[in-house]
Amino acid sequence: MDGLFRGLFNASAWVIPLIILLVATIPQIVRVLREYERGVIFRLGKLLGAKGPGLILLIPFVDRMVKMDLRVVTIDVARQEVMTRDNVPATVDAVVYFRVIDPVASVVKVENYLKATSLIAQTTLRSVLGQAELDDLLSHRDKINQTLQEIIDRQTDPWGIKVSAVEIKDVSLPEGMKRAMAKQAEAERERRAKIIHAEGEYTAAEKLAMAAAVIQKEPVAIKLRYLQTLVEIGSEKNTTIVFPLPVDIIAGLGRTIQTIADAGAPKAGNS
């Protein structure tokens, strides 16, 4: 019995450490990758390629796996002080949407693809906005976003990165520039109001000229207009009534009075 216990004790002396070692190395041997994950495998420093998703078996202390996420990543581009082409200072921030399409290139060809993409976005943002005018930055933002997306995507393509969209979130202007733009907008509104008023006056003058031409051809039309005016005045219950008289009637009345005065005046020879 003593020999049996001694044998079991000697066996457990190496079996237990073996079990502990096996349990410790299982996470290094078996890896499970999700559908949106890929593992870039290196064996003794040599690239084997990308594997996954699903169950991955590795050789402990020989293989090393770098796990990559293939989902869309969003990074905020830090606020940048830019000077537009028309020498207007502005503060701009943006957001970049991209994803890894080649996990091997994202590991092998760039040290930190997140940092590299962020820096590329910052420099491209300053460069592109420096070539645009303020009006384009405010009114044609979609076109600038498209230009930013194309440039950043072209620069990150060797790293296995696909930039899907770039959006300018906010454009901050100095207070003095905001006041100047407000005054400009107010002046533009006043200009449009004056133009509309002038067009209305011009149209009214044309209509009056056409009415005058009709009245000149038909003198009775002015009398009908007088009668209509009298009806309108009478319906308003006014205490004072103004009778409009045409100029030709006043002129004829003046000539009649002058004729009577000349006939009644004593002649020089009879005095």
Surface-to-core class of residue 74, CB atoms within 10 Å of its CB (0-12 exposed, 13-18 middle, 19+ buried): exposed
Quick one: which of 160, 154, 151 has its CA closest to 113?
A: 160
Mean pLDDT, all residues of the chain: 80
Q: Rounded distance, CA 260 to CA 244, Å?
A: 25
* Residue 271 pLDDT grade (very low, low, confident, very high; cuts 50, 70, 90): very low
Is residue 11 predicted with pLDDT exceeding 60? Answer: no
Q: Which two tokens stand for residue 53?
A: 């998703």
pLDDT, tens digit, 9 for 90 and up, residues 73-132: 999 988 888 888 888 888 898 999 999 999 999 999 999 999 999 999 999 998 898 888
- Sequence spans of domains, the chain: 19-68, 73-173, 174-216, 220-264
pLDDT, tens digit, 9 for 90 and up, residues 135-191: 888 888 899 999 999 999 999 999 999 999 999 988 887 776 656 666 666 777 777
| Cβ neighbours for 79, distance < 8 A, ≥ 6 positions apart | 91, 92, 93
pLDDT value, residue 47: 93
Q: How many angstroms separate the first and last alpha carbons of the chain?
A: 185
- Residue 182, SS3 per DSSP: helix
The architecture in CATH of the region 73-173 reads 2-Layer Sandwich (3.30)
- pTM above threshold 0.95: no
Q: Rounded distance, CA 221 to CA 217, Å?
A: 9
Kind and range of the H or E element at 33? strand 30-33
